[in-house]
């Protein structure tokens, strides 16, 4: 089953199937398809990319049934490398490519990132001719993974739409001086994205940091960024909340074939 690109139709089909997944609310072109999983698939099933027992295999099979092709999964390293998913699609036998973003221009190539507090960001141009997905934790944001994705798209940033998927919220992401310095040493005004909490600690706002970097890069159309993986345990996995046993959600985007 291939999901149609129309946002309303896609959301209706996901809801009708009993899937507790998120369909981005953004004015993407009709042929651009996107979704973000939660920790739930159908009632009674858990979705987790990292586990191999039967209930999770069933959930992954459920996801694959909705996609036009197997997603291009990445070996994510909190860096800035953006993979050409169209090229990787022809080289699947070589294992997972290392990177923190994927880009596609060909129809039915599914770009995917996984996360459990880090920020997944989806991109499309206004024409629906190129899409990308990026995995942006605090390290990747500071290093420029969003700017790397924009550069790989090779389209004017003013022509790009971005959607911020579920990440840890600004009331839960406590950080130290190292994170503050990583973002503020080269951009002192980014300090407004951090709220003092206790001696040597701040609450960091990944959404605000991402919006700031995207805006400075020239992107004006930015959507999403209203969920908190940490404070919504029924909906999301959170590494900060659950530690090493936390699962992962997937955020995916592709161009539907006409």
Q: Token digits for 229?
A: 């993986």
Percentages (nearest 5) of helix, strand, coil residues in the chain: 30, 25, 45
DSSP state of 123: E
pTM (two decimals):
0.92
Let me know if residue 195 belongs to a domain: no
On whether residue 100 sits in a domain, the answer given is yes
In a domain? residue 202? no
**What is the count of structural domains for the chain?**
1
Cβ within 8 Å of residue 83, ≥6 positions away? 72, 74, 97, 99, 101, 102, 103
Tens of pLDDT along the chain (258 residues)?
Answer: 344 444 557 777 777 777 778 999 999 999 999 999 998 765 555 666 666 666 666 677 778 888 999 999 999 999 999 999 998 866 565 678 899 999 999 999 999 999 999 999 999 999 999 999 999 999 999 999 999 999 999 999 999 999 999 999 999 999 999 999 999 999 999 999 999 999 999 999 999 999 999 999 999 999 999 999 999 999 999 999 999 888 889 999 999 997
Residue 135's domain is classified under what CATH number?
A: 3.60.140.10
Q: Which domain holds residue 117?
A: 7-155+227-255
Q: Residue 148 and residue 118: Cα distance in Å, rounded?
A: 17
86, two tokens: 């169209």
Considering only CA atoms, which of 82, 146, 156 is closest in space to residue 125? 156
Task: Kindly state whether residue 218 falls inside one of the protein's structural domains.
Answer: no
């Amino acid at each position: 089953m291939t999901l149609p690109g129309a946002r309303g139709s896609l959301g209706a089909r996901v809801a009708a199937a009993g899937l507790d997944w998120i369909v981005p609310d953004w004015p993407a072109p009709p042929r651009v398809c996107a979704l973000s999983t939660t920790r739930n698939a159908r009632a009674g099933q858990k979705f987790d990319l990292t586990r191999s027992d039967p209930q999770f295999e069933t959930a992954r099979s459920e996801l694959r049934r909705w996609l036009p092709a197997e997603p291009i999964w990445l070996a994510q390293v909190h860096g800035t490398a953006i993979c050409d998913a169209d090229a990787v699609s022809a080289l699947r036998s070589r294992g997972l490519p290392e990177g923190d973003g994927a880009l596609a221009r060909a129809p039915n190539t599914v770009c995917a990132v996984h996360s459990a507090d880090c920020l997944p960001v989806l991109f499309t141009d206004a024409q629906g001719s190129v899409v990308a997905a990026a995995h942006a934790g605090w390290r990747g944001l500071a290093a420029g993974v969003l700017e790397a994705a924009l550069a790989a798209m090779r389209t004017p940033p003013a022509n790009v739409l971005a959607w911020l998927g579920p990440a840890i919220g600004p009331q839960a992401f406590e950080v130290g001086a190292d994170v503050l310095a990583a973002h503020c040493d080269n951009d002192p005004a980014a300090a407004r994205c951090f709220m003092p909490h206790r001696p040597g600690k701040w609450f960091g706002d990944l959404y605000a940091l991402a919006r700031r970097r995207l805006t400075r890069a020239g992107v004006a159309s930015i959507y999403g960024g209203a969920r908190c993986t940490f404070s919504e345990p029924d909906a999301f996995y959170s590494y900060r909340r659950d530690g090493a046993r936390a699962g992962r959600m997937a955020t995916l985007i592709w161009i539907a074939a006409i």
